[in-house]
Amino acid sequence: MDLEQREISAETITPYFERYFGHKPTVVAASPGRVNLIGEHTDYNNGFVLPMALNNINVVAVAPSPTGKHRWIGSLGDTMIEIDPADASKPGEPFWSNYVRGVICMLGRRGVQVPPVDMLIDSNVPRGGGLSSSAAFEVATCTALAAFCGADISPTDRALIGQATEHEFVNVPCGIMDQFISANGRKDHALMLDCKDLSYKLIPMTDPNVSVLVIDSAVKHSLADGGYAARRKNCEDACAILGVPSLREATLEMLEEKKAELGDLCYRRARHVIGENLRVASFAEAVQQGDWESAGIAMRGSHASLKDDFEVSCAEVDKLVSLADEIPSASAVYGARMTGGGFGGCIVALVKSDSVEQVAKEMLEAYRKELGIETTYLVTRPGEGARVLYKA
Ligand code: GLA
């Protein structure tokens, strides 16, 4: 994965679209990837998350297809696939087409029939590194197709369409966080989402003295998929023992009462989720007060809990997080933690802006020296959520 990315926009995708299809797109839409600042593995427990949208986006350009068939190109340089309209809302090959098929199916369930389209996709969201390139793809596709059909589908509904696509067409049992922030993100704001009722609060992140630093661990462990589903199952088991509909309703007191019954594993899984919800609240409060030290403490607590109680980190990611405390410029780092589903992927850190490039440089050097792994980083600010870039 490479975190240093080229610029993409309606202007960059249009000439490619014309070259491939011989006519112009009538709609171009975009939706971003995300980095989660805090609130990990809480979304599918009806809890709280606090992500922000990236400036890295997935761009989808569409126009009516003159052939009576769908013609889709997965990314620049890909070959074109042709799909019969009758098959476009069913799972199929190639695998990536399921993201589009799923969205077409979910729009259909809402009474929106997508006619055959020519479609070209481009993205500068790094793939496979836990920055939600898939959510960006789903929400961008949904935003483009809804605009193309003149259908009014709210951002939250577009997020739900993306999530249902993951569940039914991609076989990933994800929560709602990634699609939600991709659809509802706002420039210069993080977003605190209550996953129980999907109400949310935008939290300004405009302090020029604080930057968000994302560093890729450059590892992706293969146990990831099974590991995620297994964690969900542990949480469900804990709920059954605690007698609550979701871990959102559980408290640390309840947990202590049922400690023996829960057993060590479920006890620790539930302790992570309950504690993480509390940390999201204190992080949100701290950011609103400009109290970056306290925000950093919540991030450190989150990482420790994900590592020891939820067990979704890995040696490389732990190394990056501990390096943030060990490099010469460590005093410029407020806090660092793994971000996303885990088992590899990226870390996120809040860093004093005047030192952020130096911190990144020292982190990469130390990581290479200690683990022999070359990697990349991104210094970023909260970007804008899904939007139509162009409509003829
Ligand atoms: C993945 C999922 C999200 C969320 C995170 C963990 O990114 O897609 O729904 O569960 O993992 O916080």
Over residues 321-353, the pLDDT tens digits come to 999 999 999 999 999 999 999 999 999 999 999
Report d(CA 77, CA 364) in Å as an integer: 31
Both structure tokens of 76: 């620049």
**Percent helix, strand, coil in the chain (nearest 5)?**
45, 25, 30
Residue 267 has pLDDT above 90, yes or no: yes
Q: Specify whether the CB–CB gap between 338 and 225 falls below 8 A.
A: no
Pocket probe for ligand 1: among 35, 37, 38, 41, the residue whose CB has the most ligand atoms within 8 Å is 41
The CATH number assigned to the domain holding 243 equals 3.30.70.890
The verdict on 88 and 217 lying in the same domain is no
pLDDT at 245: 98
Catalytic machinery residues: 178
Q: Specify whether the CB–CB gap between 348 and 263 falls below 8 A.
A: no
| pLDDT confidence bin for 77, thresholds 50/70/90 | confident
The verdict on 129 and 255 lying in the same domain is no
Over residues 28-63, the pLDDT tens digits come to 999 999 999 999 999 999 999 999 999 999 999 999
Domain count, the chain: 2
Q: Which atom of ligand 1 is nearest to the CA of 132?
A: 7
The verdict on 195 and 232 lying in the same domain is no
The verdict on 155 and 232 lying in the same domain is no
The verdict on 201 and 61 lying in the same domain is yes
- Ligand 1: does its nearest atom lie under 6 Å from the Cβ of 276? no
Percent of the chain with pLDDT over 70: 98
Residue 179 domain flag: yes
Residue 4 domain flag: no
Whole-prediction pTM: 0.97
pLDDT at 224: 54
- Ligand 1: does its nearest atom lie under 6 Å from the Cβ of 175? yes
The verdict on 150 and 216 lying in the same domain is no
Query: For all residues of the chain together, what is the average pLDDT?
Result: 96
Please state the rounded mean pLDDT for residues 156-164. 98
| pLDDT confidence bin for 186, thresholds 50/70/90 | very high
Residue 311 domain flag: yes
The verdict on 154 and 244 lying in the same domain is no
Residue 5 domain flag: no
Residue 309 domain flag: yes
CA distances from 374 to 56, 295, 319 (A): 22, 29, 14
The verdict on 248 and 351 lying in the same domain is yes
The verdict on 142 and 196 lying in the same domain is yes
Our separate counts of H helices and E strands in the chain read 11, 12
The verdict on 200 and 325 lying in the same domain is no
Residue 160 domain flag: yes
Residue 37 domain flag: yes
Residue 242 has pLDDT above 80, yes or no: yes
Strand partners, 70: 83
Question: With the C-alpha atoms ordered 31, 36, 282, 239, is the resulting torsion angle positive or negative?
Answer: positive
The verdict on 146 and 217 lying in the same domain is no
Report d(CA 51, CA 69) in Å as an integer: 38
Q: Which helix (H) or strand (E) holds 70?
A: strand 70-73
Q: For 219-231, what is the HEC assignment?
A: EECCCHHHHHHHH
Q: Which atom of ligand 1 is nearest to the CA of 172?
A: 8
| pLDDT confidence bin for 271, thresholds 50/70/90 | very high
Over residues 80-95, the pLDDT tens digits come to 999 999 999 999 999 9
* Ligand 1 atom 8: residue of nearest CA: 174
Question: With the C-alpha atoms ordered 82, 87, 93, 95, is the resulting torsion angle positive or negative?
Answer: positive
**Cis ω before 94 (30° cut-off from 0):** yes
Of residues 48, 33, 42, 44, the one with CA closest to residue 129: 33
The verdict on 173 and 287 lying in the same domain is no
Task: For residue 158, give its domain range.
Answer: 10-205+383-391
The CATH number assigned to the domain holding 86 equals 3.30.230.10
More confident residue, 322 or 2: 322
Residue 344 domain flag: yes
Residue 20 has pLDDT above 80, yes or no: yes
